[in-house]
Amino acid sequence: MLRDRVGRSRIAVIAASAVAAGALASTAVAGAATAVTPPNASGNFAFKTINDSRDPTFNQLLGITNSGVIAGYFGSGQKGHPNRGYVVAPGYSQARFRNENFPGAAQTQVIGINSGGDTVGFYVDAQGANHGFYKVHNRFRTADFPTADNAKPKVDQLLGINDKGIAVGFYTDSKGQNHGFRVNTGTHRFNLITVAGDSNITAAGINNEGDVAGFATNSAGNTEGFLRRSDGRVFHLNFPGATMTQAFGVNDGDEVVGTYTDGTGSGATTHGFIWSPGFGFATVDDPNGIGSTTLNGINDRGTVVGFYTDSAGNTDGLLAKSNQ
């Protein structure tokens, strides 16, 4: 099947190369079997920094199509630096950036994109509330989960969309708990996404098989990633030794990307990862942002987008292409 053949073969090649280069380590645990540290596959990618020059201090690249079109935004959201959404086409010069902002909104983040150029994200209104949106056939529409149990101010966000027009995201209730949901952009019908044993669910990415990646709080109170397949099978994703794991994107081969955290408090570092059900985890860090890398989107060619923090404290968009 496509999901197994594509997902396993690519990540296995990348990880095998990392192992051959000496990136695989193991640690012995007293009274237990040897635990294997996932390989660091960063050296098997070619990285490129991509920023919209209208605010070179803050960019995030969040979704990518198979043809290489990227969704993202610039602006930190602080006073004087509002979020401004964009889509940027291959070539990635400044002339290839196209503004994409919800009409009349104070701020917009464009987060997911499908092969037809339809996008999803969220916008902030004048009162500070977040509203999910989708833009299909060049028309914007608000997409807030239909419930009266909302946080104040409201928080609704859409984070991913597949080629069938199914989008996923989350809303926050009055107790501060997140609830994952999907919405059909053709019918505007919503339904909740649940993960057995988990709460506080954020649905962050969806592929054309209907498999959903995201993150949630498990029964131990820890943040873990998940992949919930359309057949109901759930993979709970916890990077070995990490204090937190979040999954953000998934392709049609069920390759998942996201971030994991080492340590806590001021000593915490974040690292990107790729995971496949046929292999497991591999670390992928931008060389300009080791300890501060987040991977957010992946296409079927294994090209990844995300962001990192540079030595000057700026947030920069990253594009990573496998060189295997």
- Count how many Cα atoms sit within 13 Å of the Cα of residue 111 in the half-sphere of its side chain: 26
pLDDT exceeds 60 at position 1 = no
pLDDT exceeds 80 at position 53 = yes
Q: What is the pLDDT of residue 324?
A: 77
Distances (CA, A) of 282 to 120, 190, 214, 256, 262: 28, 34, 18, 11, 14
pLDDT exceeds 90 at position 7 = no
pLDDT exceeds 70 at position 200 = yes
Our count of domains for the chain comes to: 1
Residue 321 in tokens = 């292409």
Q: What is the pLDDT of residue 2?
A: 39
CB atoms closer than 10 angstroms to residue 230 = 12
The whole-number average pLDDT for the span 163-183 is: 98
Kindly tell me the number of DSSP H helices and DSSP E strands found in the chain: 1, 26
Domain residue limits at 10:
2-322
The whole-number average pLDDT for the span 280-299 is: 97
Residue type, 270: T
Q: What is the pLDDT of residue 11?
A: 60
The whole-number average pLDDT for the span 173-195 is: 98
302: domain CATH number is 2.120.10.30
Q: How far apart are CA 142 and CA 22, in angstroms?
A: 49
Least confident of 25-39, 49-63, 203-217: 25-39
pLDDT exceeds 50 at position 8 = no
Average pLDDT of every residue of the chain: 92
Sign of CA dihedral 155, 160, 162, 168: negative
Q: Does the global pTM surpass 0.75?
A: yes
Least confident of 35-44, 76-85, 181-190, 219-228: 35-44
Q: How far apart are CA 74 and CA 90, in angstroms?
A: 18
Query: CB–CB of 216/244 below 8 Å?
Result: no
Q: What is the pLDDT of residue 241?
A: 96
The whole-number average pLDDT for the span 181-204 is: 97
Q: How confident is the model at residue 34 (pLDDT cuts 50, 70, 90)?
A: very low
Q: What is the pLDDT of residue 281?
A: 98
